Amino acid sequence: MPLNQQILLDTRPVGEASASNFKQVASDTPVLSEGQVLVRHHYLSLDPYMRGRMNDGKSYAQPQPLGQPMIGGTAGEVLESRHAKFAVGDKVVGMGGWQQYSVVNGNEPAALRKVDTTHIPLSAYLGAVGMPGVTAWYGLVKIIEPQPGQTMVVSAATGAVGSAFGALAKARGCRVVGIAGGPDKCQYAVAELGFDACIDYKLHPDAGSLSKALKQACPDGIDGYFENVGGMILDAVLSRMNAFGRIAVCGMIAGYDGVPLPMTYPALILMSRLKIQGFIVSEHMEVWPEALKELGTLVATGQLRARESIAQGIEAAPEAFLGLLKGRNFGKQLVSFI
């Protein structure tokens, strides 16, 4: 059995996460028992939710255990199988974690899923046709409930979730405006992803300045907003929301290091009769088949051309993850093992 390189959570962050919180180790891959499958990972998904799990505090999920491989989605191929459902060479996705190999119980529901790479690249099953894509789908379809002609706004617009949100909203006849960091990302959002406009938040020192830019980009106001960031960006969007607008809260990355994110004008929620709902996509598995079908079609037909940032090798995972938290990635952040 192959030697397995792993990245463990060694210590919990105090404030901002750092590379010193992680530790790389090598371990023997165990011999398979009946019903188990050995998966060689080709790609590891890095996602903002992982930062919250590094803390030992109350959250929607259990904290990442110390001394164990970091939790994370993976895509790869079956290297050895003692389960009738899986054959050597099958392409699969699962939650293999920050390591080169994983041993999976093939009988555990949803632990491992075979995927077809004929028209969809394997890596896309960790992004647009995976958890991030379904996250965008649920927030848009089930919480925001868009109507043709309405204006949708999404922060972190060129990331894995934001880019899927844009494609899904455009497919429903909406005007879509993104918020992203830097001119390259904004140009990509409009030229490649099909956004109607994209605002560079780095050009705006405060919520008032960003609010003016939103007024120009959204002359009819904002009907739906998908929140990935929080903080100053949320304050700016709230000031431009139409009456009875809907906000799907997926993430608050601006506060993941423990800095409080107070709202400047919470009275706007009442004044505009807004619906604001947070959600965790893993609690809504019933929608995944429908969402993945639509997302897969968008990718296969070229209507969603999501970009990827790929770091090479397991040893690159910590720095790539820390860069993700700072917005240094461009599109879906992955680590490749091939």
Please give the domain boundaries of the chain with CATH numbers for all domains.
3-127+306-336 (3.90.180.10), 131-282 (3.40.50.720)
Q: Which of 248, 241, 70 is nearest to 156 (CA)?
A: 248
59: pLDDT strictly greater than 90:
no
| Other beta carbons within 10 Å of 312 | 12
Q: Residue 60: pLDDT above 90?
A: no
Res 5: pLDDT: 98
104 falls in which pLDDT band (50, 70, 90)? Answer: very high
Residue 141: the pLDDT is: 98
Task: Tell me the C-alpha distance between 155 and 233, whole Å.
Answer: 8
Q: Give the model's confidence band at 25: pLDDT under 50 very low, under 70 low, under 90 confident, else very high.
A: very high
pLDDT band at 252 (very low <50, low <70, confident <90, very high): confident
Q: Is pLDDT of 327 > 90?
A: no
For the segment 137-152, the average pLDDT, to the nearest whole number, is 98
Identify the residue whose tokens are 């389960």. 83
Least confident range from 3-12, 16-25, 195-204, 250-259: namely: 250-259
Q: At CA 327, angle to CA 322 and CA 331, rounded to 5?
A: 105
pLDDT at 256: 72
What does the block give as tokens for 152? 């949708």
Q: How far apart are CA 80 and CA 40, in angstroms?
A: 9
Mean pLDDT over each residue of the chain, to the nearest integer: 95
> Is pLDDT above 90 for 224?
yes
Percent of the chain with pLDDT over 70: 99
d(CA 162, CA 64): 26
Sequence length of the chain is 338
Strands 91-94 and 112-114: antiparallel
Tell me the three state secondary structure of residue 321. helix
Model confidence at 254, pLDDT cuts 50, 70, 90, reads confident
Reported as a pLDDT band with limits 50, 70 and 90, residue 15 is confident
Q: How far is CA 266 from CA 59, 153, 271, 274, in A?
A: 23, 19, 9, 11
- Binned at pLDDT 50, 70 and 90, residue 57 comes out as confident
Residue 110: band (very low, low, confident or very high) from pLDDT cuts 50, 70, 90: confident
216 or 282, higher pLDDT? 216
3-state percent helix, strand, coil for the chain, nearest multiple of 5:
30, 25, 40
Give pLDDT, residue 259.
Answer: 75
Q: Which tens digits make up the pLDDT trace of 86-99?
A: 999 999 999 999 99
Higher pLDDT, 272 or 2: 272
pLDDT tens-digit series, residues 297-324: 999 999 998 899 999 999 999 999 999 9
The model's pTM is: 0.91
**Helix (H) / strand (E) containing 211:** helix 207-217
Cβ–Cβ under 8 Å, residues 53 and 76: no
